[in-house]
Amino acid sequence: GENVEQHPSTLSVQEGDSAVIKCTYSDSASNYFPWYKQELGKGPQLIIDIRSNVGEKKDQRIAVTLNKTAKHFSLHITETQPEDSAVYFCASRGGYQKVTFGTGTKLQVIP
């Protein structure tokens, strides 16, 4: 089955700096890659997603890049703010298969 590796497990950045979280996947049939943000005590919230026919997608301060050849995708957060502090999960899915999640990255933005 699909395996998703996520790095780093923890990340501390100064407010205003950029944060990058990287994921790799194993199944070449995977074609959908969402990212979720989970705040303490809450369920994961979808923040951005990308499909395999697109190499990059942006939404304000958040961007995701996908390299299908290398089987990796990354989340980029620019101009980080304290409210960006949370756990971020990458995920992948091929067709109608189940979604497989990475192990999460705890992001801390230091004011």
Partner 1 sequence: KAGVTQTPRYLIKTRGQQVTLSCSPISGHRSVSWYQQTPGQGLQFLFEYFSETQRNKGNFPGRFSGRQFSNSRSEMNVSTLELGDSALYLCASSYVPGDTIYFGEGSWLTVV
**Which positions touch partner 1 (CB under 8 A)?**
32, 34, 36, 42-46, 49, 89, 93, 95-104
As measured in angstroms, the least distance from the Cβ of 25 to partner 1 is: 15
Query: Which residue type sits at 72?
Result: H
Q: Beta 86-92 vs 105-110: how paired, if at all?
A: antiparallel
- Tokens at 68, concatenated: 């299908």
Instruction: Name the residue nearer to partner 1 (CB basis): 34 or 84.
Output: 34
As measured in angstroms, the least distance from the Cβ of 69 to partner 1 is: 24
Instruction: Name the residue nearer to partner 1 (CB basis): 97 or 108.
Output: 97
- Tokens at 94, concatenated: 């091929």
As measured in angstroms, the least distance from the Cβ of 40 to partner 1 is: 11
C-alpha–C-alpha distance, residues 74 and 6, integer Å: 9
> Long-range pairs for 61-64 at CB < 8 Å and ≥24 separation?
64/33, 64/35
Instruction: Name the residue nearer to partner 1 (CB basis): 6 or 85.
Output: 6
- Tokens at 5, concatenated: 């590796």
Length of the chain: 111
As measured in angstroms, the least distance from the Cβ of 96 to partner 1 is: 4
Instruction: Name the residue nearer to partner 1 (CB basis): 34 or 77.
Output: 34
